[in-house]
Structure 1
Amino acid sequence: MIIFAANQLFGLALPIKAGRSWQIGLGVAAGILGGLSSIWSPPVAMYLLATNTSKERFIGATGFLFLSGCLPLGAGLFVSGLLSASVMLKSLLGLVVVLAGFQIGEALRGRISQDLFRRFVLFGFLVMGLRLVATSLI
């Protein structure tokens, strides 16, 4: 994530054209990553950013990705007994805060350029990657 974000932010990016082979390969990578860690979105988000997908399509695609991944994950956790009533309640309370953040983000997204949107997302990737490295060293 760090290397991808830094390359994209500082102009060292290799242009990737949208294509079925990239989609299949990154779909498989996202599936493997999701199966290992329940985090499946980075490969897909990186592909969308690398192909200069518009901010509206980026939001639509990642929103669908989260929904289509979270429903079976939640069902699996519930069936296995890992999603207890108290965890579900805490998650629903956290969802209220997340939805408020979505509203703020949606309002901001309508007011910023495609380039600034892309830079914000890449900066977020950079911060997440750095945080992962930092926490693994502690």
Structure 2
Amino acid sequence: MISAVSAGQGLGPLLLALTVTLFAGFVKGAVGFAMPLIMISAFSAFLPPELALAGLILPTLVTNLSQAFRQGIAPAKQTAWTYRRFLIGTVVFIALSAQLFDLIPRVAYLLLLGVPVTAFAALQLAGVPLALRLQHRTRAEWGLGVIGGLYGGVSGIWGPPLLVYLLSINAPKLEAIRAQGVVFLIGAVALLAAHLGTGLANVQTLLFSAALVVPAQIGMGLGYRLQDRLPQARFRRWTQALLVVTGLNLVLQALVA
């Protein structure tokens, strides 16, 4: 039974994956993102790349259902329409880039994710103004959606470009968290569909992924309690700081790979 649930990795890696997912769910509940970033960066240290990616698919899908619809169906639908350009770009390019998963070296995609995310968030923390000009908002939304989709198909992570966009337009806390939930939810459906096609998501890997749903949801519920107490300014700073840490972790993994 343990062998099946752990996709042949054994009890130790399974318990470690459950612990990582619990923490990642808590962070996501608190600030609205970073669960796939935390999971893929930690999983990559002790799991094969294909299992690390497959493992985050179902927890990401389920937790984003909760996040997207926390304020109800109508606000979620409105948010989906508001960020429709980002959503379209993300979904289309997840489907396309998923076909390249086996062709892109792990070091390359870790660096491609880690360097720009770290640079942007560090500059924001340092007080450097990087807000997008309002007249360029539509182009930025399309462009960042495409970038998110390109990353998402090969790494399971498409959040940083959305966070860059939300920080740049100074989106209010509740809108930012709901937008992340909606975009991440639709992206997670696209990622699952794409990798059902590539074969990366199969009975063995999805059983492992399903085992991680429970700790993800428990962590999410605990994180919600903290989120509700965070003022807007502190939420923004925590988001920036967490982006720096996760970006640096990705870069470090690439350098020691």
TM-score by structure 2 length? 0.50
Residue type matched to 1:15 in 2? A
* Equivalent in 151, 160, 183 of residue 65 of structure 1: 183
C-alpha RMSD over aligned residues? 1.6
- SS of alignment partner, residue 230 of structure 2: coil
Q: Does 1:23 align with 2:157?
A: no
Distance 1:5 1:135, change over 3 A: same
8 Å contact kept, 2:153–2:191: no
Q: Per-residue deviation at 1:36?
A: 4.2
**Gapped regions of structure 1 (runs ≥ 5):** none
Q: Per-residue deviation at 1:123?
A: 1.2
Q: Per-residue deviation at 1:71?
A: 0.9
Equivalent residue for 2:239? 121
**Gapped regions of structure 2 (runs ≥ 5):** 1-116
8 Å contact kept, 2:166–2:176: yes
Deviation readout 1:74-123 (Å, 9 max, x if unpaired): 12222333222232122112111111121122111111111111111111
- SS of alignment partner, residue 161 of structure 2: helix
Q: State the identity %.
A: 37
Q: Partners in 2 of 1:81 and 1:21 — Cα distance?
A: 34
Q: Partners in 2 of 1:115 and 1:51 — Cα distance?
A: 14
Equivalent residue for 2:118? 2
Q: Does 1:44 align with 2:162?
A: yes
Q: Per-residue deviation at 1:56?
A: 0.8
TM-score by structure 1 length? 0.89
Q: Per-residue deviation at 1:13?
A: 2.2
Q: Partners in 2 of 1:36 and 1:114 — Cα distance?
A: 33
Distance 1:15 1:83, change over 3 A: closer
Q: Partners in 1 of 2:180 and 2:217 — Cα distance?
A: 15
**Runs in 1 of length 4+ with deviation above 6 angstroms?**
none
Q: Partners in 2 of 1:73 and 1:112 — Cα distance?
A: 31
